[in-house]
Structure 1
Amino acid sequence: MIEIFWGCFIFGVLFTLVTVVFGDIIGSFMDGVFDFLSVDGLDFLEPVTLVGGLTIFGGSGILLTQYTSLHMTAIIILSVCAAILMSILVYFIYVKPMKNTENSISHSIQDYVGKIGEVTITIPKNGYGEVLIKIGASQINEIAASYDGEVIKEGTKIVVVEVKDSTLYVSNFDS
């Protein structure tokens, strides 16, 4: 049985080392391989928690075999309990918080509606100009037209009223 414990432990350590060194490369090759594990209600079956549990099972089995006089059945039960406990801790302390922090910095042009900006190139009565809109920490220049059909001069504060055909239709903010 000690060979199984050593096998689990060595596999877990090697998996961790390979993941740390070649994680991005392997991730791109194996993209989607573990998608079957992301079934609703089974999101705790992440490779990190599974391999971590396997490593803990092997390591605790080795330690209990070497340093205690427990029967092998008790060692296996204690090792399984340690693996389950540590997998649960890894999931709730590391995996779940990391999943919750994943977000995208992308945005849709539809997000501009209601945003306040400034005209950088004068918008003619029946033409197009350019406005500067702040989204988060970034500033974006977009093509704009007058919503009210009025000339809006450079430097004027505006509000985005509508987005149509990738054009922001803006109105003077003071109006």
Structure 2
Amino acid sequence: METLYLGCLALGVIFAVVSVLVGDVIGHALGGIFDGLSFDFLNPAVLAGAVTVFGGAGILLSRYSSLEPGPVAALSLLTAAFMSVLLYLGFVKPMDKSQVSNGFSMLDLPGSIGEITVPVPAQGFGEIMVKFGAGNSLHTAASFEHRNIPAGVKIVVVEVRDGVALVTEFEESKGDDR
């Protein structure tokens, strides 16, 4: 039985090393053929962790406890399951939700609040800075109402036409003073 535990421990360690070194290469080579079969909790990292913990716990329990092989296998399975749940809830699931993109579409600009960085003349182009997610993006802008807009003024994007943001000064509405 100890051979099984040692094999599981070695297999888990080898899988971890190989996936770190060539995981992306293998993933691209397979082209996502297993994506339809995947479940979040059957993540390769979780499965490899379970196999590794099963092997390690089995070796430790068989060598350093006076338990029979049956209870050692059962405790090893319980330990592996517990650690897999911890790995999934503590690492895999939070990391899956943390993917952030700084990509955006010009179609997302209308309604966005920004600031003039290069003055916009009545008939011509200037530049605006709009915040998207954690970053800022700069865009060519023209005045929607054909008015001069100086640098530093807060604006709102009215529409996008031919890749140019048409903007107007942003006026914050003040609450009623009743």
- Do both share a fold (TM > 0.5)? yes
Check whether the contact 2:143–2:168 (CA below 8 A) recurs between aligned residues.
Answer: yes
Pick from 86, 99, 109: which aligns with 1:89?
86
Per the TM alignment, residue 109 of structure 1 is displaced from its structure 2 partner at its CA by 2.1
SS at match of 1:70: coil
Picking from 150, 155, 158, the partner of 2:151 is: 155
Deviation at 1:130, TM superposition (A): 2.7
When the two structures are superposed, what TM-score results if normalisation uses the length of structure 1?
A: 0.80
Matched residues in 1 for 2:2 and 2:43: separation?
26
Residues 10-62 of structure 1 deviation map (CA, whole Å, 9 limit, x = unaligned): 01011112223344444444552542344xxx311111111100111111111
Cα 1:159–1:25 shift into 2, 3 Å: same
Deviations 1:105-127 (A, max 9, x none): 222223332312215254443xx
How far apart are residue 87 of structure 1 and its match? 0.3
Amino acid at match of 2:50: G
Q: Which residue of 2 aligns with 1:132?
A: 128
Runs of 5+ consecutive residues of structure 2 not aligned to the other structure: 173-178
Contact 2:149 2:169 in 1 (8 A): no
2:9 maps to 9
Cα distance between partner residues in 2 of 1:69 and 1:144: 77
Question: Does the 8 A contact of 2:114 with 2:131 survive in 1?
Answer: no
CA contact (8 A) 1:10 1:55 kept: yes
* Secondary structure of 1:106 counterpart: coil
Given residue 20 of structure 2, which amino acid in structure 1 is its aligned partner?
A: V
Do the aligned partners of residues 133 and 67 (structure 1) sit closer, same or farther apart at CA in structure 2, a change above 3 Å counting? Answer: same
Corresponding residue of 2:70: 73
Residue matched to 1:19: 19
- Cα RMSD for the two superposed structures: 2.6
The gaps in structure 1 that reach 5 residues or longer are none
**C-alpha contact (below 8 Å) 2:119/2:148 kept by paired residues:** no
> Which secondary structure does the structure 2 equivalent of 1:44 belong to?
helix
**How far apart in 2 are the matches of 1:174 and 1:83?**
59
Q: Does the Cα contact within 8 Å between 2:128 and 2:140 map onto a contact in 1?
A: no
Sequence identity, in percent? 36
